[in-house]
């Protein structure tokens, strides 16, 4: 516990000293950040959640046939487990394990899941996927299905994504599989609106990271002095989120400080958008092949099944 706190402290402070400063998107998810993310998923402009859910629902029988029975489902970055509920209703797994960094929110989500599936063995662990993924020793090794929805893979740059996919592959025996959601390249207007909604919900989500960081490292960020910026970077095929200083500022924390000039930014998130063939290629490089792909009518989002 203390070790993980120290690692978070060092990671955050190192990020704040970088030029430009960075805060990893995993720090969005304290209890308030998780609740704000749920609010984002209900926005008209935020298409990924409803599009992925509609793909899972519309193709449920085919996905169930492809996945097969008696799976042990491991959902990574589970959030509210809503997509897992849709999946589990059609594949009836024997075991379900939810993994997420946002501990309190995860335990509430899993309690709801237990009500929906009283006969399923359900466990939850709070863990950071950017470290080694340590699963409970009691979890069956046969017929695992790693489920990673939400296009969370897009938060990692391609080399980090390859490393994470390889670690997921490492959780699977030869009869294992990965079911993963991936957001696809589309019109810049649609992408910009999804990450910079008129209601200001994504702005509140982005700014909340500063309150979380204040609690973690004793810093004195004042959210009123920062503004949300989000835009599609076509060259890198990613939406970027930043926090921009509204004035010249000095931010202090326990054992350090940093000056920010007006207009200077802290980079808080990347959300890479893939072409299906590029993502299938990335999976192949992680040792995951024999892919099946389901998309929506507009080809905005893909759900991909891959096997070792
Ligand atoms: C974009 S949300 C997706 C939530 C849900 N899976 C969905 O599809 O709606 C990302 C989820 O991953 C979790 N998360 C983010 N970074 C993480 C990390 N490094 N380790 C574990 N969980 C993480 C967050 O707490 C959040 O629940």
Condensed to tens digits (0 to 9), the pLDDT of residues 87-128 reads 999 999 999 999 999 999 999 999 999 999 999 999 999 999
Q: Looking at ligand 1, which atom is closest to the CA of residue 79? A: 27
Asked if residues 37 and 205 have their Cβ atoms less than 8 Å apart, the reply is yes
What's the pLDDT score for residue 231?
98
Q: Looking at ligand 1, which atom is closest to the CA of residue 52? A: 8
Asked if residues 220 and 251 have their Cβ atoms less than 8 Å apart, the reply is yes
CA of 250 to the centre of ligand 1 (A): 31
Question: Is ligand 1 within 6 A of the CB of residue 40?
Answer: no
Locate 152 and state its tokens: 């969370």
Q: Looking at ligand 1, which atom is closest to the CA of residue 181? A: 8
What's the pLDDT score for residue 4?
76
Residue nearest to atom 3 of ligand 1 (CA): 150
Q: Please count the other Cβ atoms lying within 10 Å of the Cβ belonging to residue 71.
A: 26
Question: Is ligand 1 within 6 A of the CB of residue 152?
Answer: yes
CA of 140 to the centre of ligand 1 (A): 23
Question: Is ligand 1 within 6 A of the CB of residue 150?
Answer: yes
What's the pLDDT score for residue 256?
96
What's the pLDDT score for residue 5?
76
CA of 152 to the centre of ligand 1 (A): 6
Q: Looking at ligand 1, which atom is closest to the CA of residue 80? A: 5
**Distance from the first to the final alpha carbon of the chain:** 34
What's the pLDDT score for residue 132?
87
Angle between helices 201-217 and 31-41 (to 10 degrees): 170
What's the pLDDT score for residue 2?
67
Regions of the chain short of the pLDDT cut 50 = none
Question: Is ligand 1 within 6 A of the CB of residue 271?
Answer: no
> How far, in Å, CA of 206 to CA of 217, rounded?
18
Please tell me the pTM assigned to this model. Answer: 0.97
Asked if residues 267 and 24 have their Cβ atoms less than 8 Å apart, the reply is no
> How far, in Å, CA of 186 to CA of 47, rounded?
11
Residue nearest to atom 9 of ligand 1 (CA): 150
User: Buried (b) or exposed (e) across 75-100, using 16+ Cβ within 10 A?
Assistant: bbbbbbbbbbbbbbebbebebbbbbb
> How far, in Å, CA of 69 to CA of 205, rounded?
38
Question: Is ligand 1 within 6 A of the CB of residue 128?
Answer: yes
Question: Is ligand 1 within 6 A of the CB of residue 78?
Answer: yes
Residue nearest to atom 7 of ligand 1 (CA): 150
Question: Which of 101, 127, 155, 195 maximizes ligand 1 atoms within 8 Å of its Cβ, making it the mutation to test the pocket?
Answer: 101
């Amino acid at each position: 516990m203390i070790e993980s706190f120290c690692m978070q402290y060092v990671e955050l402070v190192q990020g704040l000293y970088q030029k430009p400063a960075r805060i990893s998107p995993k720090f969005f998810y304290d209890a308030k950040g998780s609740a704000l993310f749920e609010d984002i998923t209900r926005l008209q402009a935020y298409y990924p959640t409803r599009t992925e859910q509609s793909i899972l629902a519309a193709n449920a029988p085919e996905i169930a046939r492809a996945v097969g029975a008696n799976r042990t489902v491991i959902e990574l970055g589970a959030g509210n487990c809503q997509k897992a509920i849709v999946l589990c209703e059609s594949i009836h797994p024997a075991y379900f394990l939810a993994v997420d960094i946002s501990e309190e929110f995860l335990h509430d989500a899993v309690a709801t899941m237990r009500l929906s599936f009283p006969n399923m063995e359900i466990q939850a662990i709070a863990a950071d996927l950017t470290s080694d993924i340590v699963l409970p020793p009691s979890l069956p090794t046969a017929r695992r299905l790693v489920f990673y929805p939400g296009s969370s893979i897009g938060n990692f740059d391609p080399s980090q994504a390859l490393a994470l996919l390889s670690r997921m592959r490492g959780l699977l025996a030869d009869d294992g599989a990965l079911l993963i959601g991936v957001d696809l390249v589309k019109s810049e207007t649609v992408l910009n609106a999804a990450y910079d909604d008129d209601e200001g919900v994504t702005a509140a989500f982005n700014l909340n990271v500063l309150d979380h960081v204040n609690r973690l490292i004793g810093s004195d960020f004042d959210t009123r002095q920062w503004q949300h910026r989000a835009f599609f970077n076509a060259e890198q095929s990613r939406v970027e989120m930043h926090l921009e200083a509204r004035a010249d500022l000095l931010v202090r924390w326990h054992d350090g400080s940093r000056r920010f000039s007006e207009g200077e930014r802290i980079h808080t998130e990347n959300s890479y958008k893939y072409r299906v063939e590029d993502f299938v290629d990335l999976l192949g490089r992680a040792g995951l092949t024999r892919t099946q792909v389901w998309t929506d009518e507009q080809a905005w989002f893909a759900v991909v099944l891959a096997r070792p």
